[in-house]
A and B are shown apart, each in its own frame.
Chain A
Amino acid sequence: MTATANPNDMIHVRATPEEKRSTIIGAVLIALGAYIFWQFGLGVEPGLQATFNLSLQTDTVQGLAWVVDPRQFSMIIGVIVAGLGGWRLTRRALQYTNLSLAISFLLLVMAFLAWAAAGSQFSLVGMLRSTVVLSVVVVFGALTGLMCERVGVVNIGIEGQLLAGAFAAVVLSSAFGTAAGVLGGVAVGALLGWLLAWLSIRFQVDQIIAGVVINFLALGLTSLMSARILSEIQTLNAPERIPAIRIPFLADIPVLGAMFFDHTYFVYGMFLLVFGIHYGLFYSRWGLRSRSVGEHPKAADTAGINVYWVRYRNVILGGMIAGFGGAFLGLAQVARFEENMTGGIGFIGLAAMIFGRWLPIGALGAGLVFGLSRAVQQKVAILNTGIPSEFLFMVPYIVTIIVVAGVVGRTRPPAADGIPYIKD
């Protein structure tokens, strides 16, 4: 809760926050539905067709496509979205508010794509594949933040940990091979995780400032070394790109195969980590201890848990995840180091963690939403819709603000998040 809550809310019987939210979202969805109907439906010349290609050139099954009439398609979508809005206005079945929002968001994207692709072709499966690839670093960043915050340490330094991980991975991979690169990225991530833990636990430095220190250090050191070393010895900035591993049979499935089963091991690792951390947090002793330290360190301490050790361990583990994500960025996604190549994605990861309500599976979902918004931006930029590319570039950041500003409803961080624990 913030200080803005009106005390009267607690005295008079009024609409609950969930009910109010349902109403607001209902109104927004009706307006959105109407906009989709007019702009993306009626705004298209009659007779044009939009072709969504469902096969990549590398796919086993070729030539799949989905042809729609964008006019009809978007008009139907507009009606559905408005209908969902009307349902929200009734304030019934409040548990479906977020689902209605999610469905509307996806339908909006579809209508937008149909409008943008009217009269031409569009690789839908290519976009879906990019969605997964572009969400990887965000998800790793969100998992890093989650590991730290679940034990009560705020990590603003994810950005720096990703950047340093990418740098170390690229340089070590160029010098000693891929394995050394990945391990080096993870090790540097661990080192910066340790630095955050050390500053915030040993010295009780304000954790947000400690995170800023890490971001500055990582940006300054990697840029300096890039300018002073990589520019002189260019072989150190030429790592071998890590190849994708096609999973037999599964990769042959149309659409899903290209989306999920033809990636580098980082992507498979991301899915394993998401479900592993989820299981660990909620079904293992490690998870129970971690959560208790993040919610009520004093009680945890009384119960015999070493609060400092648990915090050090998880923050370092979180740093290692960021280092691994950085290695993906440096060795698989880009395959070279560029100054400030993370470009704010660590902060988007942080937002994804909040959006995902400090849950690993939520982080994955949030990461995919950001991945989708970037994939749409990239693909639509090719389609020549007349929308300036700068505005398309803004989309992921605007989505982040809307998300953090609570379209998903108020979230509750771990109770001891950001508070140093001082043992009596």
Chain B
Amino acid sequence: MSDQPDVPPDDVGDPGPSLMQRITGVGESARRALLLPSLALVLALLVGAVIIMLTDVDAWQLMGTDAGAAIGDMFEGVWVAYRELFAGAFGSVRGISETLFTATPLILAGLAVAIGFQAGLFNIGATGQMFVGGLFATWIALHVTLPSYLHIPLAILAAIVGGGLWGGLAGLLKAKTGAHEVITTIMLNFIAGFFVLWALKTSAFQDEGSNIPQSSPLPESVQLPTIFGDEFRVNIGLFIAIGAVFFIQWLLYRSTTGFEFRAVGSSPGASLYAGMNVAVLITLVMFVSGALSGVAGSTMTLGLPPYRVSESFPGTIGFDAIALALLGRSHPYGVLWSGLLFGALIAGGRTMQAAAGVSVDLVIVMQALIIMFIAAPELVRAVFRVEHGGEAADQVTRGWGA
């Protein structure tokens, strides 16, 4: 096999064809590795443009009287939407700050999904793990009085424990009973969501008397310090996310445990015969995955002005993370770049919604298309007539029986 661009050639243990190579059928050079995702993004933007035009109600109502003007309006609509998208993501210091701020939890949750994929597990439960991790962090934030340099690490540690336990629970269920993680993690998402909704109304998280599911303000000692000044939201959570990228890179490709994770992902049967404790490994992978989501959750509770935790703080991050892990082909560096890209798309999408009236839901559609094009590279090749890689898309996950 040829080396992956991001893995040093002296990598301990043969990582086998990476997910990237398995899905894309390319792996010879970084240029070719980037080709498919870039084309997928371009295609998604094109389809997105068509959708903006098709849903332009005002232009369609004009179509009967003045078709030329209507079509002009439609193209104008697309132009304005994408201009605002780009401006909202990169057009100013605020835009860049918003992009990085949005990317922070995405990178962390994306790593969570990616490490699951590497071990053959599909963690759709990042949302629930963010809920639990974020709630644990909030509890520490409200109930412990410490100087900032201890308070923040302790709160994040609590998030690691909370998210890890919630993810590990799904892993344990999988290992001990065979319950598929796709179903259990989704159910755990709902359970965690309702639990947070209840918890935020209790006196442990807010002052007596209020019935709004929102915590008391977090003390300043636990608020994540901002990087560009208080005017901009991006905070040191970004450094935590980047640190996690390097840590997971080390864990997966430099440590025995990581090797075992990937071995379980490639073949649980062979891993069992090689003497690995597959049940423990599956639980551990889900613990690490949940812990990463938990940290993502803590950045959304400790780093989100006005520092009052509300009941929906994970938003759609847990699901965006799936698209992002696929786009980054489950590689930590790939997740970093895709996280930044999605951060830009979503931050820009918010501006687009406000300024151009195109709902940010368009970004969900684009994510779906990106996953689809990445998972079915033949589709992209058919459109762009790129040379054929010669390999079919391989399977990332396993069926119910495994």
User: A-side interface residues toward B, CB under 8 Å?
Assistant: 1-4, 154, 156, 199, 203-210, 212-213, 216-217, 219-221, 223-225, 227-229, 232-233, 344, 347, 350-351, 354, 388, 390-391, 393-394, 397-398, 400-401, 404-406, 410, 412-413, 417-420, 422
Determine which of B58, B180, B189, B369 lies in contact with A404 in the assembled complex, contact meaning CB atoms within 8 Å.
Answer: B180
CB-CB under 8 A for A418 and B186, given A216-B364, A217-B365: no
Q: How far is the CA of A377 from the CA of B257 in the complex (A)?
A: 44
Establish whether residues A404 and B179, one from each chain, have CB atoms under 8 Å apart when the complex forms: yes
Q: How far is the CA of A398 from the CA of B193 in the complex (A)?
A: 13
Contacts of B18 in A (CB 8 A): none
Q: How far is the CA of A223 from the CA of B376 in the complex (A)?
A: 25
Establish whether residues B393 and A203, one from each chain, have CB atoms under 8 Å apart when the complex forms: yes
Determine which of B173, B323, B326 lies in contact with A401 in the assembled complex, contact meaning CB atoms within 8 Å.
Answer: B173
Contacts of A418 in B (CB 8 A): 395, 398-400
Establish whether residues B361 and A224, one from each chain, have CB atoms under 8 Å apart when the complex forms: yes
Determine which of A154, A199, A400 lies in contact with B399 in the assembled complex, contact meaning CB atoms within 8 Å.
Answer: A154
Determine which of A216, A223, A405 lies in contact with B319 in the assembled complex, contact meaning CB atoms within 8 Å.
Answer: A216
Contacts of A417 in B (CB 8 A): 399-401
Determine which of A203, A216, A393, A419 lies in contact with B376 in the assembled complex, contact meaning CB atoms within 8 Å.
Answer: A203
Q: How far is the CA of A2 from the CA of B369 in the complex (A)?
A: 34
CB-CB under 8 A for A4 and B278, given A203-B393, A209-B396: yes
Interface size class of B (residues with CB under 8 A): 35 or more
Interface majority SS on B: helix, strand, loop or mixed? helix
CB-CB under 8 A for A206 and B375, given A393-B194, A404-B180: yes
Contacts of A217 in B (CB 8 A): 365, 368-369, 372
Establish whether residues B371 and A216, one from each chain, have CB atoms under 8 Å apart when the complex forms: yes
Establish whether residues B179 and A405, one from each chain, have CB atoms under 8 Å apart when the complex forms: yes
Establish whether residues A350 and B361, one from each chain, have CB atoms under 8 Å apart when the complex forms: no
Contacts of B148 in A (CB 8 A): none
Q: Does B119 contact A (CB under 8 A)?
A: no
Contacts of A216 in B (CB 8 A): 319, 323, 364-365, 367-368, 371
What is the distance, in angstroms, from A198's C-beta to the closest C-beta of chain B? Answer: 9
Q: How far is the CA of A111 from the CA of B174 in the complex (A)?
A: 32
Establish whether residues B57 and A209, one from each chain, have CB atoms under 8 Å apart when the complex forms: no
CB-CB under 8 A for A229 and B179, given A4-B279, A209-B396, A216-B365: no
Contacts of B393 in A (CB 8 A): 203-206
* A–B pairs, 8, beta carbons within 8 Å: A204-B393, A206-B394, A206-B395, A225-B55, A351-B187, A401-B184, A404-B183, A417-B399
Establish whether residues B400 and A413, one from each chain, have CB atoms under 8 Å apart when the complex forms: yes
Establish whether residues A390 and B364, one from each chain, have CB atoms under 8 Å apart when the complex forms: no
Which B residues from 291 to 325 make CB contacts under 8 A with A? 319, 322-323
Q: How far is the CA of A391 from the CA of B173 in the complex (A)?
A: 21
Q: How far is the CA of A401 from the CA of B186 in the complex (A)?
A: 10
What is the distance, in angstroms, from B267's C-beta to the closest C-beta of chain A? Answer: 10
Q: Does B195 contact A (CB under 8 A)?
A: yes
Complex interface bits, B381-402 against A, C-beta within 8 A gives 1, otherwise 0: 0000000000011111111111
Contacts of A223 in B (CB 8 A): 359, 361, 364
Establish whether residues A400 and B187, one from each chain, have CB atoms under 8 Å apart when the complex forms: yes
Contacts of A401 in B (CB 8 A): 173, 179, 183-184, 187-188, 191
